[in-house]
Amino acid sequence: MPRLEDLMKKSVADAPIEPIRLDEPVPLEALHTPALVIDLDVFERNLDRMQAHLDQHGIGLRAHTKMHKCPIIAREQLKRGAIGVCAAKVSEAEIMFAGGISDILITSPVSTPEKITRVIELAVLDPELSIVVDDIGTADRFEAAAARAGIELKVVIDLDPGMGRTGIEPGEPALALGRHLIESCPHLIFSGLQMYVGNCMHIAGFDARRSKYAHLMAKGAETKRMFEDAGIPVPVFTGGGTGTYDIEPGLGILTELQAGSYAFMDIEYRDIGGQSGEVFDDFEPSLFVLVSAISKPQSRLITVDAGFKSLASDKDAPQFRDVEGVVWHWGGDEHGIIQLNNPSRVLGLGDKLEVITPHCDPTVNLHDFYYPYRNGVVEALWPVSARGRSQ
Amino acid sequence: MPRLEDLMKKSVADAPIEPIRLDEPVPLEALHTPALVIDLDVFERNLDRMQAHLDQHGIGLRAHTKMHKCPIIAREQLKRGAIGVCAAKVSEAEIMFAGGISDILITSPVSTPEKITRVIELAVLDPELSIVVDDIGTADRFEAAAARAGIELKVVIDLDPGMGRTGIEPGEPALALGRHLIESCPHLIFSGLQMYVGNCMHIAGFDARRSKYAHLMAKGAETKRMFEDAGIPVPVFTGGGTGTYDIEPGLGILTELQAGSYAFMDIEYRDIGGQSGEVFDDFEPSLFVLVSAISKPQSRLITVDAGFKSLASDKDAPQFRDVEGVVWHWGGDEHGIIQLNNPSRVLGLGDKLEVITPHCDPTVNLHDFYYPYRNGVVEALWPVSARGRSQ
C-alpha cells in the first residue's frame, strides 16, 4: 500500500514516452475511431516554417508542450532549433523531463505547499528548470524550500497584461517583487519576465490583433526598462504565441516565443486571419480526429462516433477536412450529427472522415495516442504522455 | 513490435480496475489539484435512492457506465440491485467486462468492419453482451460475423425518437428490421427495443419535460404493440435517464432505465427542476473537482488551476460547492478566473475549493482517478478505468 506521492512518482516513471512501432503498418481507414491522427508531411512543414521564421528574426522558440503533451514532438521541435520548452503545470513538466527534456519553464504559478515540494523535487533532478512567480509570499515559500533542498531555482516574474488571469501588475509592483527576489531570495535566480497576452491571440484580423497586442505589450517593455534602470538585467522576456508570431519581430520585446498550436493548427486559429487575408494559413491543419459514420437516422442526417469526449467543445463546431456542404451539430458526449445540406461527396454508413479540431489543446488532452501517418499509413503510435496531467 | 489489435487488447488487460489503497490516508486539503473527488456519503445516498425508487415501481436499473467509466462504481450499482449496465462504446464495454461485469448493453450502433470484429470477440467471451442495430445492412454484417464465430448475439433495435441521432424510424421501418432479424439472422437474438430520448432529459420544468417525453415515447409504445401484433415478443424496452426517472412509472413503457448522472449529479441536471420546484434535488451533487487558488492578479479576481482540461466546457460555467457571491469565468485550458463580487468567505492564495461540475460525464472523462472521501479523508484511489475509451 503506497503513499499518494509514491503513486504519483510511479505514474511518471510508468508513463509511455517513446513511439510504439507497429509490426504491421495500418492504413488510416483501418483505425478504430475516434482516433487522433497527424498528417506528418503537413506537421513537419509547420515545424520547419516556424523555426525558420524565428531564426530569421533572432527570437528563440520555447515550444509550449501544453498543446501536444508529447516528448516525442518536443524532441522534434528541439532538433529543429527550439531553445527549450514550456509546460503549463508541474505534472506536465515531470513528463517532459522523463522524456529527456531539461530546459523547461513552468508558465503557471504554483501556490500550495505540496506542489511547491513537487517543483523543488523536480528542480533537484533538473537544474535547468524555471518557474514563474507573481506574489511575494509565494516567492518566500519557494526560497525557503530551495534553501532546505540546497539548490538554486531559476525564476521568471509573471506580469498580468491586464487580462486578470495570472501575473503581478507591471511597473512598480513587478519591480518590487524583482527587488525582493534579488535582495531576499538568494536561492532564487531572477532570470527575466513573462507576459503572455492570452486574450490577444485570437483577435480576428492581423491589424486589429497587432494594434491591441502592441498596446498591451508596451507595459511589459516599460517594466523591463524599469528593471534595467534599477540595475537588474533582464536576460529573458518570454511570451507570445502562434497568433502573434509574425507581430513579435516588429515589436522587438520577446527573446523567446511560447508557441504551441502552430504545429497542429485548429479552426479557432485558422479563423483569426493572417497578413494575407481572412484565413490564417501560414500554418496548415495537420491534426485531425478520424471519425466513422455509424447511423443514418434520417435522410438528411448522418451520425458519427465522436462527441464531447473526443473533440473539445469550448469553441466552434468541428469541420471536415475534405467534405463541404455539411454542418456539424453536437450530438452529446459520444456523437456528432452531420446535417447533409449539399454534401460535396456521398457519405454512407461505415465511412471514415478526418475532422479539423475546433481547439487543438483540449482535444489532444482527450486522447491517449496519436496515430501519425504518411502516405495514408500509420507505422507507430505516439503516446500523449502528459494527457490529463493538469496538476 | 506488436499489431495494433494486440496493443489494444494489452491496454484492456493492463487497465487498472481495482481500488488503489493508500498506506497513509490523505486529507482532502493535501490532494494535488485539480483532483476529481467523490463525497462518498452523498454518492451512496444517491445510489440507494434510485434503486429504491425503481424497485418500488418494478423497473430495472441498467446503470449507464458512460458516465462514471469505473467498474468499481458499476459493482456498487449491481450490488444494490441494478440488473446490468450499459456502455456507449465497444471499448468501454471491454473495460466493464474486464472489471467482472457481464450483462452489458452497448447503446450506440457499430458500423465498421474492424469494430464489428471487436464486438464479436467480446461476445465470444461474454454471452450476456447485447448490442443495438438500426440498419438492415449492419444487421447482415453482424449476422455473418456471429455465424463465422459460431455464437448467438443478443440484439436490441434502436429507435430514433425524432432527435435524429441514432436509431431507425419507429413503426413500419422498425418492424421490417425486426422481421429481418427474426427471419434472416439466426445468430442474432432479438431481445427488444431501445428508445433513448436524449433531447428530453434536460427540458426545464417537470411538467414540460413529462409532456414532451410522453408524446415522443408514444411512438415507441406503438411500435412495441406492432411487434406484438406481428407475433414478435418484446421482452425488453430500454431507455430513459436521470431526467425521466420519475416520469417512467406513469408511462409504463420501459422495462429498464439507463440512468447514469443520478450518482454524481451536475449543474445541468440540477437546473432542470423537479416535481417539487425549480431545483432538481432528488439526487445531490456528490462529485466535485477540487481546485487551488494560484494567483490573485487583481483585487476583485482570484485564479484557480482548472480550465477546459479539467472541467467539461460544453455547457454552463462551474460553480463552487460552498462559496457564494462569486462568478466563474473560463480562463482557458488551464485556469478559471473567479470574479469576487461579494464572496461569502475570504479566498486566498493556496485555498482549495470544491467545484460542482457543469456536466459530469465529459468531466469524468478528463481525469485518471477519483479520490473518494469520507469525513474529509481519502483512503483509496479509484481508477477511471474506461477514461478515453470512446472507440
Cβ separation A303–B165 shorter than 8 A: yes
Query: Are A112 and B33 inside 8 Å of each other by CB?
Result: yes
Beta strands in chain B (DSSP E): 20-27, 35-39, 60-64, 84-87, 104-106, 130-133, 153-158, 188-195, 236-239, 256-257, 287-295, 301-304, 319-320, 326-330, 336-340, 352-356, 369-374, 377-383
Of A350, A352, A362, the CB nearest to B333: A362
The per-residue pLDDT for A2 is: 75
Q: Cβ of B112 and A350 within 8 Å?
A: yes
Which of the 8 DSSP states describes residue B53? H
- Best of A122, A334, A367 to substitute, by most chain B Cβ atoms within 10 angstroms, is A334
ipTM reported for the complex, 2 dp: 0.95
User: What is the structure's pLDDT at A1?
Assistant: 53
Q: Between B1, B113, B160, which is nearest A21 by CB?
A: B1
What pLDDT score was predicted for residue B91?
Answer: 98
Residue B332: list chain A partners with CB under 8 A: 165, 198
The residue written with cell numbers 429504491 in the block is: B52
Question: If you measure CA to CA, which chain A residue comes closest to B298?
Answer: A164
User: Residue A233 to residues A67, A104, A193, A229: CA-CA distances in angstroms?
Assistant: 31, 21, 11, 9
Considering only CA atoms, which of B243, B184, B188 is closest in space to residue B212? B243
Asked if the Cβ–Cβ distance from B350 to A113 is below 8 Å, we say yes
Give the count of beta carbons closer than 10 Å to the beta carbon of residue A316.
16
Is there a contact between B184 and B133 (Cβ–Cβ < 8 Å)? no
Chain B hits for A66, Cβ within 8 Å: 333-334
B18 Cα to chain A: minimum distance (Å)? 13
Cβ contact, residue pair B198, A20, below 8 Å: no
The DSSP 8-state label assigned to residue A311 in this structure reads S
Query: pLDDT value at position A313?
Result: 84
Contact B111 A167 (CB under 8 A): no
Yes or no, beta carbons of A138 and B349 under 8 Å apart: yes
Mutation for B interface: A8, A21, A89, A165, most B CBs within 10 A: A165
Residues of B in contact with A115 (CB under 8 A): 32, 292
Distance, in angstroms, between B137 CA and closest chain A CA? 9
* Closest to B12 (Cα-Cα) out of B93, B112, B123: B93
pLDDT of residue B12: 95
Q: Which fold has domain A40-263?
A: TIM Barrel (3.20.20)
* Residue B303, phi then psi, degrees to nearest 5: -110, 135
* Contact between A87 and A110 (Cβ < 8 Å): no
> Residue B65: enclosing H or E segment and its boundaries?
helix B65-68
For B201, counting Cβ atoms within 10 Å of its Cβ (0-12 exposed, 13-18 middle, 19+ buried), the class is: buried
- Note down pLDDT in tens along chain A; length 391 residues: 579 999 999 999 999 999 999 999 999 999 999 999 999 999 999 999 999 999 999 999 999 999 999 999 999 999 999 999 999 999 999 999 999 999 999 999 999 999 999 999 999 999 999 999 999 999 999 999 999 999 999 999 999 999 999 999 999 999 999 999 999 999 999 999 999 999 999 999 999 999 999 999 999 999 999 999 999 999 999 999 999 999 999 999 999 999 999 999 999 999 999 998 999 999 999 999 999 999 999 999 999 999 999 999 877 899 999 999 999 999 999 999 999 999 999 999 999 999 999 999 999 999 999 999 999 999 999 999 999 999 9
Can you identify the CATH homologous superfamily of domain A4-38+281-383? D-serine dehydratase-like domain (2.40.37.20)
What does the domain layout of chain B look like in residue ranges? 4-38+281-383, 40-266
How far is B27 from chain A, CA to nearest CA, in Å?
Answer: 11
- 8 Å CB contact of B297 and A3: no
Q: Which residues of A touch B293 (CB under 8 A)?
A: 111
> How far, in Å, CA of A47 to CA of B363, rounded?
32
From chain A, the residues in CB contact with B368 under 8 A are 11, 388
Minimum distance, in Å, between the CA of residue B274 and any CA atom of chain A: 22
Q: What is the CA radius of gyration of chain A?
A: 22
**Least Cα separation, residue A249 to chain B (angstroms):** 26
Q: Which amino acid is at A204?
A: A
Rounded-to-integer distance, Cα B92 and Cα B84, Å = 14
Contact residues, chain B, for A137 at CB < 8 Å: 349
Q: What is the pLDDT of residue A45?
A: 98
Give backbone dihedrals phi and psi of B166, rounded to 5 degrees, phi first. -135, 165
Which residues of chain B lie closer than 8 angstroms to A309, CB-CB? Answer: 361-362, 365, 388, 390
Residue B197 CA to residue B2 CA, distance in Å, equals 42
> Considering only CB atoms, which chain B residues are within 8 Å of A24?
3-4
Tens of pLDDT along chain B (391 residues)? 579 999 999 999 999 999 999 999 999 999 999 999 999 999 999 999 999 999 999 999 999 999 999 999 999 999 999 999 999 999 999 999 999 999 999 999 999 999 999 999 999 999 999 999 999 999 999 999 999 999 999 999 999 999 999 999 999 999 999 999 999 999 999 999 999 999 999 999 999 999 999 999 999 999 999 999 999 999 999 999 999 999 999 999 999 999 999 999 999 999 999 998 999 999 999 999 999 999 999 999 999 999 999 999 877 899 999 999 999 999 999 999 999 999 999 999 999 999 999 999 999 999 999 999 999 999 999 999 999 999 9
Asked whether B365 and B387 are in contact (CB, 8 A), the reply is yes
The alpha-carbon gap from A56 to the nearest alpha carbon of chain B, in Å, equals 31
* Pairing verdict, β A301-304 and A336-340: antiparallel
Q: A interface mutation test: which of B5, B33, B92, B294 has the most A CBs within 10 A?
A: B294
> B276: Cβ–Cβ under 8 A, 6 or more apart, which residues?
none
pLDDT of residue A166: 97
The reply to whether residue A332 touches residue B165, judged by beta carbons under 8 angstroms, is: yes
Does the structural domain B40-266 have CATH classification 3.30.70.270?
no
